[in-house]
Structure 1
Amino acid sequence: MMCRLDEDQEPDSGSDVAATDAAFTSLLEDSAEELYEQAPCGYLSTLMDGTIAKINATLLEWLGLERSAVVGRMRFTDLLTVGGKLYHETHFAPMLRMKGEISGIALDIKAAGKQRMPVLVTSKVKTGGGGEPLLIRTTVFDARDRRAYEMELLRGRQAAEEARRQAEADRARLQEALAVLQQNLLPAALPTIPGLEAGSYYHTASPDLLGGDFYDLFPIDTGRWAFFLGDVCGKGPQAAAVTSLTRYTLRAAALHDPDPVNVLTTLNTVLHERYSGGDPRYCTAIFGILHAGSDRVEVRLASGGHPSALIQRADGTADYLPTPGGMLIGVLPRVRFTAAHTELRPGDTLLLYTDGLTEARIGPDRALYGEDALRAFATAQPAAGPQALVTALTGLLAGFGDGLDDDTALLALGVPTPLTTPLPAPASEDRT
């Protein structure tokens, strides 16, 4: 945009023009040579054999050397550390000869005071009119700030890696402790019952959390055995505490009065009184009594809000044993439980399970596996006894993959066929 002089404005005087010329002349005093010498980076030129022909003051200051001791007396590699020389000979120089130019190469030079100074080096071969190489021009940038930043990043990465290793070690120790605690909440091994067979399996959905599923099998008196299986709400230490209380309450109540309804009623009273405050806790459970006869086993059981037991018969059929009216245990101060009764003959298997099995997600639509599918699965399996059924179900659970996202407990009880050990005759006073 052009400016217009007002009518009363005088043209520039000669003195203004002179001042402008003086300022321009002062700028010219900052000659190219002075800019070269005082540049914020180092400059040097070498002959093709590496002999230094020219070097600026900035680089000399970094090196702590006099110009007379460098120019014509030293090669570029004399400025480098041992490692820098090795890299120059094996990588830098060959690449420069091949390409004629190389940039941003990290090297270390021997700075003043015998200090190692990190630099970034860019070199270019200058050629004559006929294309023959004449000299090498090199620019050296101070990389100390960059090196410090890289070292800080490295220290941070190392600290993060150490923290990761420590976290993994802590997690491994935690998982080991949780596994030990989980084992203490389950029987180490099922007892051997004359004339009967038992099998069990426990799937832990997460090694980092204590599960709330539990089961047990133990003797009451001559010819009678008690069993139970259940699921405490929640996971973690709180659920483990409820599981421990539940197991010991069921055992103690069974030894006092083994009637299944009375045992579950006692458990309901204990849980409700203990957890009726601001942190209510409850569980589902099946409790039952096995009474061995001469050719069969009588089973009396009751359920508190738990999935019905499944019976696989020797004739190849399978169906659920209804336990109507069972309520969650520990929610209300007074509840009603209903007893159920069945008999196990040679080849029959009674299966108890937690809902992790039937609530597993399958297929692309993530549908529930469900009780109908479980009954069909049991029907399709040969009636080969409790352990065979548990083994088949273990394979089924493994096939669910990530669709099995809850802990799952299995307990199977049955009479082998044919009987290899006679069942002890029941004492009349032991009947429930």
Structure 2
Amino acid sequence: MTCGTSDEDRGGDPDGGEGPSGGRARFGALLEDSAEDLYEHAPCGFLSTLLDGRIIKVNTTLLEWLGYRGEDLVGRRHFSDLLTVGGRLYHETHFAPLLRMQGEVSGIALELRAADGSRLPVLVTSTVKADGDGQPLLIRTTVFDARDRRAYETELLRARQEADLERDRLKRLATTLQKTLLPPTLANVPGLDVSAYYHIASVDEVGGDFYDLFPLAAGTWGLFMGDVCGKGAAAAAVTSLARYTLRAAAVYDPSPAAVLDNLNTVLNHEYNGTDPRFCTVVFGLLTPDSDRGGFHITLAAGGHPPALLMRADGTADFLPTTGGQLIGALPDAHIAATSVHLAPGDTLLLHTDGLTEAHINAAVTKGERYGDDALLDFCRALTPTTASDTIAAIRDLLDTFGTGVDDDAAVLAVHVPRLSSEEKQ
């Protein structure tokens, strides 16, 4: 008794179609047929050329893409004949020389001309086939249909162009809106020189800094500078409300403390929900001093950096308006106030914290801020000075910070010119 069976018992023929030998024969034939079919009907195009580019073999896939028959191309056309004018120029000046030097060029974007004159965007990879001695014999080229990729790239380009247009539109809108929040020109005050500068940290957003100098009753002028919490459209709405409220309140009662009280009430009532909005503000009232010359200035501040007074005698210091609370944050905010005489040769500087909170050498010491002490030393070195010279020096200072200025910065300087010898007489 045996455990195995013979080929005959299994009904197979060692040399026939049912046995192992026959199966291998059929499988080999299938592989041979499949290899030829894969070449002819591959999902990409194949062609072989002589070293001079003359086509000697091309598969069915590429023929169908281009609308040619094999006899139209084999032995009669060069690969460069299938290219567009621009593609042919690129092939002769770049593609072919690189192929000769490197033996392979991969993923080159070209366009082939079909029999009907249409264009087929493709990606081409070519390799040089050499014999056993390393001598080049022919060139094998694989062609991938890039129509879907071209459509994707075209759509991507269109989307990018639309995004660029939208960004430009938003920049124009932000610039236009910012201009409406700042005075086009500052009021001309007899006996006073005025200069201002606004540094926008981001051209894509509307800043929250604002300032103004405007006439009130005969012989008096109001000036203010503020900084709204945040940026963008929400901050712009608060900026607009604050600017016009300050001007309207000053007409009703020009007392600086009363003006800021009025603004605090408006903002606290308007933004007392889940999205509170507040700002820092300094408001000043200017009146000519007929007895001593120059101007008398009363300042009131709510959470704003103190003004800096640069005297004609070369001294400089901050005015005591610290301790005032943010405007709009509390129903009854504490307002800090002070008065000062601005004599001939004196300059008063108002600024927002974008200046003092700028980073020094941002690329190296990101954590270091410019600070109030550095600003005071800077202004002491300038003193005595004028409004225009002060603003010009601060603009140069901001430029040295580069990208370290990550918040908007506004500065406003008022200066009483010295009397000439004729005016003194």
Matching residue of 1:428 = none
Measured at CA, do residues 192 and 110 of structure 1 come closer, stay the same or move farther in structure 2, by a change above 3 Å? closer
Q: Aligned residue pairs: how many?
A: 403
Q: Deviations over 1:319-370 (max 9, x none)?
A: 0110244111112222332421110111111111111111112143331211
Structure 2 CA distance for aligned equivalents of residues 102 and 270 of structure 1: 74
8 Å CA contact retained: 2:356, 2:375: yes
Letter in 2 for 1:171: R
- Unaligned 5+ segments in structure 1 are 1-5, 424-432
Q: Deviations over 1:181-217 (max 9, x none)?
A: 1111111111211111111111111111111111111
| Among 336, 341, 353, the residue aligned to 1:343 | 341
Residues 1:279 and 2:275 are matched in the alignment: yes
Q: How does 1:102-117 map to 2 (within 5 A)?
A: none
Matching residue of 2:397 = 396
Letter in 2 for 1:298: H
Give the secondary-structure state (helix, strand or coil) at the position aligned to 1:379: helix
TM-score of the aligned structures, taking structure 2 as reference length: 0.78
Give the secondary-structure state (helix, strand or coil) at the position aligned to 2:380: helix
Q: How does 1:313-352 map to 2 (within 5 A)?
A: 313-352=311-350
Measured at CA, do residues 258 and 158 of structure 1 come closer, stay the same or move farther in structure 2, by a change above 3 Å? same
Structure 2 CA distance for aligned equivalents of residues 367 and 175 of structure 1: 30
Matching residue of 1:387 = 388
Task: Work out which of the two has the higher radius of gyration on C-alpha atoms and give 1 or 2.
Answer: 1
Matching residue of 1:426 = none
Q: How does 1:40-51 map to 2 (within 5 A)?
A: 40-41=39-40
Residue 311 of structure 1: CA displacement? Answer: 0.3
Q: Which moved more, 1:166-175 or 1:98-107?
A: 98-107
Structure 2 CA distance for aligned equivalents of residues 96 and 191 of structure 1: 70
Residues 1:250 and 2:246 are matched in the alignment: yes
Matching residue of 1:301 = 299
Matching residue of 1:357 = 355
Residue 247 of structure 1: CA displacement? Answer: 1.2
Matching residue of 1:429 = none
Structure with more contact order per residue of length (Cα contacts < 8 Å, sep ≥ 6): 1
Residue 165 of structure 1: CA displacement? Answer: 2.4
| Among 144, 151, 157, the residue aligned to 2:147 | 151
Q: Deviations over 1:216-266 (max 9, x none)?
A: 111122221111111111111111111111111111111111111111111
Measured at CA, do residues 16 and 218 of structure 1 come closer, stay the same or move farther in structure 2, by a change above 3 Å? same
Q: Which moved more, 1:161-170 or 1:285-294?
A: 161-170
Residue 132 of structure 1: CA displacement? Answer: 9.8
Structure 2 CA distance for aligned equivalents of residues 208 and 160 of structure 1: 23
Q: Deviations over 1:356-394 (max 9, x none)?
A: 111112143331211111111000014121111111111
8 Å CA contact retained: 2:7, 2:13: yes
Residues 1:204 and 2:200 are matched in the alignment: yes
Residues 1:265 and 2:261 are matched in the alignment: yes
| Among 143, 167, 174, the residue aligned to 1:171 | 167
TM-score of the aligned structures, taking structure 1 as reference length: 0.77
Matching residue of 2:4 = 9
Measured at CA, do residues 182 and 421 of structure 1 come closer, stay the same or move farther in structure 2, by a change above 3 Å? farther
Structure 2 CA distance for aligned equivalents of residues 51 and 325 of structure 1: 88
Matching residue of 1:292 = 288
Measured at CA, do residues 267 and 7 of structure 1 come closer, stay the same or move farther in structure 2, by a change above 3 Å? same
Q: Deviations over 1:44-75 (max 9, x none)?
A: 797999696xx6996998686587x998xx44
8 Å CA contact retained: 1:301, 1:339: yes
Structure 2 CA distance for aligned equivalents of residues 336 and 399 of structure 1: 36
Structure 2 CA distance for aligned equivalents of residues 334 and 96 of structure 1: 78
Q: How does 1:88-167 map to 2 (within 5 A)?
A: 90=92, 124=129, 143=143, 146-147=144-145, 150-167=146-163
Q: Deviations over 1:260-290 (max 9, x none)?
A: 1111111111111111122211111111111
Matching residue of 2:181 = 185
Q: Deviations over 1:96-126 (max 9, x none)?
A: 9968977879898888889888786656466
Structure 1 CA distance for aligned equivalents of residues 265 and 338 of structure 2: 21
Residue 80 of structure 1: CA displacement? Answer: 5.1
8 Å CA contact retained: 1:102, 1:124: no
Letter in 1 for 2:330: L
8 Å CA contact retained: 2:305, 2:353: yes
8 Å CA contact retained: 1:37, 1:56: no
| Among 193, 214, 217, the residue aligned to 1:218 | 214
Structure 2 CA distance for aligned equivalents of residues 336 and 342 of structure 1: 20
Give the secondary-structure state (helix, strand or coil) at the position aligned to 1:214: strand
Residue 409 of structure 1: CA displacement? Answer: 1.1
8 Å CA contact retained: 1:39, 1:58: no
Structure 1 CA distance for aligned equivalents of residues 51 and 410 of structure 2: 82
Measured at CA, do residues 349 and 155 of structure 1 come closer, stay the same or move farther in structure 2, by a change above 3 Å? same
Letter in 2 for 1:226: G
